[in-house]
Each structure stands twice: as C-alpha cells, then as structure tokens.
Amino acid sequence: MAILNKFEQSNSAISVVDLVESLRQEMNKTTVYRILERLKNEGELHSFTGKDGRRWYAKNNGCDSNQQTHPHFQCKECGKVECLAFEVTIPHIPNYKIDSAKFLLIGQCEECLS
Amino acid sequence: MAILNKFEQSNSAISVVDLVESLRQEMNKTTVYRILERLKNEGELHSFTGKDGRRWYAKNNGCDSNQQTHPHFQCKECGKVECLAFEVTIPHIPNYKIDSAKFLLIGQCEECLS
DNA sequence: TTGCAAATGCAACTATGTTGCACTAATTTT
DNA sequence: AAAATTAGTGCAACATAGTTGCATTTGCAA
C-alpha cells in the first residue's frame, strides 16, 4: 500500500505529521494513524518519539530484541531522523522489569555540519 | 518558589501536566511553563519526554556532561518516571556532532511488579 | 445477491503547549 | 519620593497532534 512505499523509498524515519501531509489527497489522517499502528503491530514498522515529542515511524530491518535496541538520531537543524546501524544493550535494573528502551541522540548531521 | 519545593519533596520526575494541575489554584499554566523553562536554563532542572510524548522535569543533581547522560525510567503501569542513578556513555558517530542524548527505559517498577 | 466484517472518511473533540497583550509588581534612575 | 524601566504574571485565544464515535464504503464469503 501507499504508506509502505514511502518507507521503501527513503531510509530515514518519517514523522506522522509528514505522512499525513504528503498523503492528504489520498487518504484521511485518521486512516494514516490507523494504518501506521497496524503496520507497527504487524512488525513492519517501529515507532518512537522525536525531540519535540512528535511520533516517527521507521522500517523494521529485523533486529530489536528485548535485550538490544538501536538508537535514533535527530538533527537539530534540519530535523531529519535516522535509525543508527548499531545496537545498544538495554541495562538491567534490580527489581525492575524493562520491556523496551528509546535512545535518541540529538545533534547535527553530516549535511548540516558542512 | 513553589515549584522548586515540589521537586525537593519528591525524588521522582514530575510531568508538566501534573505540575499545572497541582498548582492550578496558585498560578496560571503559562506561568508554570515559563518558570520551568527558566529553571532549566538556570541549570536547576532538566527536561525530557516520557513514553507518550509529554514533557517531564527533574532536579539536576550535578552530572550530565556532553559525554554522559543518565537514563530515565517510566513504569508502563503507574506512569511514574525516575532518573536512574548511573551514567551512560553517549556514542560517537563519524561525521556527526552529537550534543545530547535521551535514554528512556520502559517497563514495570518495583511496586507495580509485586 | 445477501450479509457480515474490515477499512475508510468525516467531524467533533481532547490535550499539550504557545503567543500576544494587558496588567502588576519590583527595581532602578533621576 | 516620583518617574521610568524591567521582569513577572494572568488571561484568552490560538496552534497542532492525536483520538473517538459514527456513518459510509469496500471487500469477501456464504
């Protein structure tokens, strides 16, 4: 479907805001939200929160166990978000049960630095 | 001032929503937002985003350099957020400049587990 | 064709957070 | 002490992300 296409074409994460906007003529925003949630439940996508508290989605390329997670990077200048290609071990805390972790790095990307 | 008191009394982080609510009779929500931002700039507090994208604040107990950050933990049952008492090294990425990092662990806290 | 379930559209709503502007301290200056 | 500047507060209106209820459409199966 149209939404998955968007993720095939770009390797970056895409914000829900952008998706709703760019699909405005094809489908309703409620539909976009619902499809994204479905794709997440089906394991095609994963979601996380950007530096401003808005939701982003990205393709699931295998990975993401209970022990490991990959960080995301957001450029504070252009706003772009990427999945970083390495895994981080989720720390263990005595007496707590950790299900998942969100690791967001904020800074400047290659293009914005030059 | 009244807001700092709230943070002295509790060691957990406090969500802006809770603060606005609990101070409703003493001050306007705009004022709460502004004071929180000021305390953050002055280095008294730090802010971050909870699992649902809402903003939380917590006391600054020294620490938080450019190289290290402490993770936050949010209980998915009771919603409580805590600063974790250890530091995590912020990874270095070639050609990128990393300014800061947000590390949020999600799971169940001691009380909710028992 | 009929009937049912899943998917979509639409409008209204909720909630977080922001902004502009007026008003009120609190300080400083003369 | 009076006037003038500055910082802090309140209020209302706004902006935007995300959700919900309900009606309508679509697709598929009996």
User: Residues A52-85: pLDDT tens digits?
Assistant: 999 999 998 766 667 889 999 999 999 999 999 9
Mean pLDDT taken over chain A: 91
Min distance A3 CA to chain B CA atoms (Å)? 23
- In this prediction, residue B4 carries a pLDDT of 76
Check pLDDT > 90 for residue A1: no
- In this prediction, residue A9 carries a pLDDT of 76
For A6-27, what is the mean pLDDT?
Answer: 90
Q: Which nucleotide is the nearest neighbour of A17, by CA and C1'?
A: D17
Which residue among A73, A86, A95 sits closest to B110, beta carbon to beta carbon? A95
- In this prediction, residue A67 carries a pLDDT of 82
Which residue among A84, A96, A103 sits closest to B93, beta carbon to beta carbon? A84
Check pLDDT > 90 for residue A91: yes
- In this prediction, residue A65 carries a pLDDT of 67
Tell me which long-range contacts B14-17 makes (C-beta under 8 A, separation of at least 24): B14/B56, B14/B57, B14/B58, B15/B50, B15/B54, B15/B55, B15/B56, B15/B57, B15/B81, B16/B54, B16/B55, B16/B56, B16/B57, B17/B54
User: Percentage of chain B surpassing pLDDT 90?
Assistant: 79
Q: Which nucleotides of C are covered by protein (CB under 7 A)?
A: 7-11, 15-20
Note the pLDDT tens digit of each residue in B50-92.
999 999 999 987 666 678 899 999 999 999 999 999 999 999 9
Read off the pTM.
0.92
A42 Cβ contacts chain C strand, under 7 Å: no
Check pLDDT > 70 for residue B27: yes
Mutate to test the interface with A, among B102, B108, B111 (most CBs of A within 10 A): B102
